[in-house]
Copies of this chain bind each other. A is one copy, B any other.
């Protein structure tokens, strides 16, 4: 009775003093209120047998203590003995853990990171066993078990075997050394280079915890628009300090390599990848790095793109450049990730086609520790974009997926847009490269063309804001990205469910409403920003807000007018044979989906076709009316989100409730702005009215054209 009372008091008090500022992400570990569950979880975490004493196992222990104290009001007792009555046993198979043939079979194929969690009976009492082949696999298993508790699952009978589908699960930080973040919308960089290596910010540790909890195992610390200073000795000591923090969490550090570093910090006159001095410089640099960071992951390189230096300056190929770096890191099992996001100045062909034309001819020429990293689509992380034609087209080269978690084109930090549906759409799309079912996922997981190296990278949305991501719901994109890296077959719905429960509440009413908000949010955003295949019509530079009218940029493919091609006859980019023929880069079966106006999925209609304003859509509406319909629906659906959220007030803390409410209000304003600005502008070509049933724009096109955002964030 007394014990029960204390538990209840505990729960109330913890709930009361908890500061819900978002810093704790999905690792809040709020008290379990359901008595049955609480009892069951308390029992499960009462006595824990832990095998091993590595830094990783220390982390395992700390996390269990933290979670148990916070969720259950109980401090577990730990033992190293396995032959006992421990309620939870955590250990690598073989060493000291004894287990039946079932368990041995379970972890046979779990590799270096997979794990098994089973319940069994020991001495008449229920026991949970977490096992795997490495310490880090055990950490992953523990986070899985904790997730079951955070989401209030029954743990009486579990039999889980989980192995990551992808080997490299990376975050790419576009963080500059001056702490600005390119396309960052959550304050400044969390890397406080000035105070490193002497000062280890608690954030570094919590960053590692959060990433380990979702399976991220690598981080590229700095911007692909690179600065060579990161490779100088004073900075490598700082990088080492971070690597040391991350290592116990199974996270390797990578750096971007500025191709001209041998000139800028090496004192050489050239960066020609076939020059012996240059090659030696990189070899010595790699040696220097690995001497202090033995498990350094490798280099990420953006070369000959948007002003970055590269091998083409010396009339060498991307393969020459990548292979030189690959040779430098090969002795240490390092890898080189070479970005395919290239488009040359003054190249008159459709930008859509350029990466393919540059890279397909190089297939087979890359060393075996090189991966080519491809953005999900051929243009640039658009709200809705067909998958990149390179997927399936380079069979001899392991391709790494590059997604954007940071919402450069998808609402930045003011919009609730859950990106898992976008990720899934791309991963599930069929390249038809080896017949039906040759999905992008199978290309990048290495299964289609037998590549050992495989992985996904997400451009991080993390910054110095207290809640890490600016928008409370932006945390869901970090979460979902990591979980999809581990297993891309998981449903958007499942991941939203998990994240909501851990981040906010397990109340079913709350989950029901907010999950629907999340799942619909991406389509809503597409509707009010880029419906029917429109793309790249945002403001120049900062990419904030609509600016389809821009046509004064020095390079044609920087201008929105290049992409929508609206004129008196219609709107859209003809990428079929009668136009740029970019569609020819896709496999025939894929082409077939989009080649005809009549059969092309309408979400890609204006991506591939220039369509007359009066064209009849599937809805029966004209194209113009459909455009109006989509734009108005998008904005109206944001209004609906606002109403739904307002009804959630009683379920969660006041602080985050108000944050989201304010942000949804901004999002609605922005949706109306996109809608009105785009329709008023396109109307000058269609010469058709916005149908009378809609509230007409209350501002003029000139008003929208006159808006300027000199200090919009993320534009470095």
Contact = CB atoms under 8 A, between A and B. Distances in A.
A187 B203 CA distance: 13
A194 interface: yes
A199 B659 CA distance: 7
A188 interface: yes
A199 B14 contact: no
Interface in A627-674: 655, 659, 662-663, 665-666, 669
Interface in A163-195: 177-180, 187-188, 192-195
A495 to B, nearest CB: 26
Contacts of A14: 13, 17
A617 interface: no
A198 interface: yes
Interface stretch (A321-329, A509-517, A708-716): A708-716
Nearest to A655: B202
Interface in A402-418: 413-414
B188 A710 contact: no
B414 A177 contact: no
B666 A198 contact: yes
Contacts of A662: 198-200
Interface residues of A, number: 46
A199 B13 contact: no
Nearest to A202: B655
A376 to B, nearest CB: 26
A69 interface: yes
Q: Which of the listed residues A9, A466, A709, A712 has the most CB atoms from chain B within 10 Å of its own CB?
A: A466
Interface in A191-225: 192-195, 198-200, 202-203
Contacts of A17: 13-14, 17-18, 70
B229 A198 contact: no
Given A464-B464, A465-B464, A193 B711 contact: yes
Identical copies of this chain, number? 2
A19 interface: yes
Contacts of A558: none
A669 B234 CA distance: 15
A464 to B, nearest CB: 5
Contact of A202 (B21, B709, B711, B712): B21
A16 interface: yes
Contacts of A85: none
A199 B21 CA distance: 15
Interface in A387-434: 413-414
A6 interface: yes
A679 to B, nearest CB: 23
Contacts of A710: 177, 229
Interface in A141-155: none
Interface string A9-53: 110011011110101000000000000000000000000000000
A18 B19 CA distance: 9
Contacts of A666: 195, 198-199
Contacts of A709: 194
Contacts of A70: 17
A669 B198 CA distance: 10
Contacts of A465: 464
Q: Which of the listed residues A17, A465, A710 has the most CB atoms from chain B within 10 Å of its own CB?
A: A17
Nearest to A18: B17
A186 to B, nearest CB: 10
A10 B203 CA distance: 28
A195 B471 CA distance: 11
A711 B177 contact: yes
Nearest to A412: B194
Nearest to A668: B198
A153 to B, nearest CB: 24
Interface in A659-708: 659, 662-663, 665-666, 669
Given A188-B187, A188-B188, A193-B711, A665 B198 contact: yes
Interface of A: 6, 9-10, 13-14, 16-19, 21, 23, 69-70, 177-180, 187-188, 192-195, 198-200, 202-203, 229, 413-414, 464-466, 655, 659, 662-663, 665-666, 669, 709-713
Given A9-B10, A17-B70, A229-B710, 20 more contacts: A6-B9, A14-B17, A17-B17, A19-B23, A23-B466, A177-B710, A177-B711, A178-B711, A179-B713, A187-B188, A187-B192, A193-B711, A194-B413, A194-B711, A195-B413, A195-B666, A198-B414, A198-B669, A199-B414, A203-B466
19 contacts: A13-B14, A16-B69, A17-B17, A17-B70, A23-B466, A178-B711, A179-B187, A179-B188, A179-B711, A187-B188, A187-B464, A188-B188, A188-B464, A194-B709, A194-B713, A199-B663, A200-B662, A229-B710, A464-B464
Closest 8 pairs between A and B when the two form their complex, measured CB to CB: A198-B666, A188-B188, A177-B711, A199-B662, A178-B711, A13-B13, A194-B713, A14-B17
